[in-house]
Amino acid sequence: KEQTQQHYEPRSQGRSMNTLIPRNMASSAQVALGRLEQQHGNIDEFVRARLGYTSTDELHRRLYAEQIDNIGLAIANLDKGNGFVIGDQTGIGKGCQCAALMSYGARQGKPIVFLTQKSALYKDILRDLDTIGVRDFTPFITDSNAKITVEGGSVLRTGSNAQQDQEMKRLMGAGNLGSYDAVFTTYSQIQTVKQKEPFRRDFLRSLAERGAILICDESHEAGGSPQTGWQSNNAPLTRAEFMRELIDTALESGGGLVYSSATYSKRPDVMDLYARSTDLRYAVGKSRSLEATLKVGGVPLQ
């Protein structure tokens, strides 16, 4: 470990988690943080103001220094219309970082869409929102007939499939989320049903067209698998294709992307998901596709 990692030095003055960083990434991380402070001033004050905390002390009570550094970099990227990957390993608090960025996006008046692996994880992000001080948060959950027990024993319930579709139609007609603070959905919720697109896709498209901030938790799951075998020209988009369409629409409409996964880069065919909104797109020349480039470069390039 001593040969390949070193202690991370947070730029924030908050509590440190005493984390490690790969030695060959440490210098680049400090350069990025230095550039951020040159452009926006002290990182603690920058993040405090963007998240709406009344004092730096409150910011430090809610978030660790490593999380504040990441959130600052993410906000700066979102402000430029770019995406950001939170690739920390387990235990660093990716959920709290996602929660903070959801709060930031909502403060900018953007629709927030939280996508994750399974509905059981909804309660985790609600807990993380509570941890950072966001109270009375009301999500619209796309799952039908859901019953989700959250911290404190309260239960979130959703209506039947027809009732959920009706509520989504109402929100689309209203042009905003109304009393809801965000939309929660899973990657399985956007899959085709009997070779047909679920209405949820049109609902999410409408939010992307309004410049939504997409928070892609467990983002490696959003990439899908490469298409194999015969496929009809009239076949609906696969989950992977739909996610790419949704991302492109959100970016074109002034939205943003946050990806969160400890294993985001484990497959070359998923990496173009990130290249749509991050500087990864600059790693590929015009003569070769991203997937082909990554296959040639292998794990080191990923």
pLDDT given at position 226: 47
CB 115 within 8 A of CB 143: no
- CA 282 to centroid of chain Cα atoms: 21
For 57, other C-beta atoms within 10 Å of its C-beta total: 11
**Which pTM does this prediction carry?**
0.90
Mean model confidence pLDDT for the chain: 88
- CA 95 to centroid of chain Cα atoms: 10
Chain segment 42-73, per-residue pLDDT in tens: 999 999 999 999 999 999 999 999 999 999 99
User: What is the C-alpha to C-alpha distance for residues 202 and 190, in angstroms, rounded to an integer?
Assistant: 10
Q: How many helices (H) and strands (E) does the chain have?
A: 11, 10
Chain segment 149-201, per-residue pLDDT in tens: 887 778 888 999 999 999 999 999 999 999 999 999 999 999 888 888 999 99
pLDDT given at position 231: 54
User: What is the C-alpha to C-alpha distance for residues 257 and 213, in angstroms, rounded to an integer?
Assistant: 6
Average pLDDT over residues 137-142: 93
Encoded amino acid at 127, one letter: R
Closest CA to 198 of 242, 145, 233, 234: 242
